[in-house]
């Protein structure tokens, strides 16, 4: 009887550990539409990857960062990196409708990383995902191409300003560190 009880406790603990391992981290527990589509996705699907979140705009001096972001994504996606782009008109540089943004990204920069619906990224109207990023880092976007890094466990690690280049050592060094953990 004692052995049966011990076995039951052990099985229950494995079940509890398995359930907690499958839970979505707070930072990723959001649903959002893909850019120019009706398809809604849960960001939990990216748990287990290092995530670089970027608010983007098509008519900004930093728009050429799309090229560096795509290069970073293509070089490191097989190692576990994903770049998530979120167009925003908060800084008045993304006036286009979503299909035009999608076409611009594809035709001008051949963007393959996931792009999501146009959202507000700061202030009262910020999307809840961005509100959480700002709370976790104590830093909301000051301009387009503001970046946030999330580790494999779904914890927001750090934010980077728009002047941080996607191919600079400051960002890539941290990404490499997180990928190796």
Q: Output the DSSP codes for 2-37.
A: HHHHHHHHHHHHHHHHHHHHHSPPGGG--EEEBTTS
* Domain chopping of the chain, boundaries: 25-180
How many Å apart are CA 73 and CA 38, to the nearest integer?
A: 24
pLDDT tens digits, one per residue of 38-59: 989 999 999 999 999 999 999 9
**Which region among 15-19, 24-28, 91-95, 110-114 has the lowest average model confidence (pLDDT)?**
15-19
pLDDT tens digits, one per residue of 160-169: 999 999 999 9
Q: What is the mean pLDDT of the chain?
A: 91
Give the mean pLDDT of 99-117.
Answer: 97
Which residue numbers are catalytic?
A: 60
Please give the distance of CA 97 from its chain centroid, rounded to a whole number: 22
pLDDT band at 15 (very low <50, low <70, confident <90, very high): very low
pTM (global) more than 0.85: yes
pLDDT tens digits, one per residue of 120-152: 999 999 999 999 999 999 999 999 999 999 999
Q: Specify burial of residue 30 (Cβ count, 10 A radius: 0-12, 13-18, 19+).
A: middle
At the fourth CATH level, the homologous superfamily of domain 25-180 is Glutaredoxin (3.40.30.10)
């Amino acid at each position: 009887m004692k052995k049966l009880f011990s076995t039951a406790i052990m099985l229950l603990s494995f079940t509890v550990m398995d359930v907690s391992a499958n839970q979505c981290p707070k930072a990723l527990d959001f649903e959002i539409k893909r850019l120019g589509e009706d398809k809604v996705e849960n960001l939990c699907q990216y748990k287990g990857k290092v995530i670089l979140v970027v608010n983007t705009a098509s008519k900004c001096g930093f728009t050429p960062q799309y090229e560096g972001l795509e290069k970073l994504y293509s070089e490191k996606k097989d190692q576990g990196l994903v770049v998530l782009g979120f167009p925003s008109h908060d800084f008045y540089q993304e006036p286009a409708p979503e299909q035009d943004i999608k076409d611009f990204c594809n035709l001008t920069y051949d963007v393959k990383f996931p792009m999501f619906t146009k959202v507000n990224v700061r202030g009262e109207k910020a999307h809840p995902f961005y509100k959480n990023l700002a709370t976790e880092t104590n830093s909301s976007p000051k301009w387009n191409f503001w970046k946030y890094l999330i580790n494999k466990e779904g914890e927001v690690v750090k934010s980077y300003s728009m002047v941080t280049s996607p191919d600079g050592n400051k960002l890539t060094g941290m990404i490499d560190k997180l990928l190796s953990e």
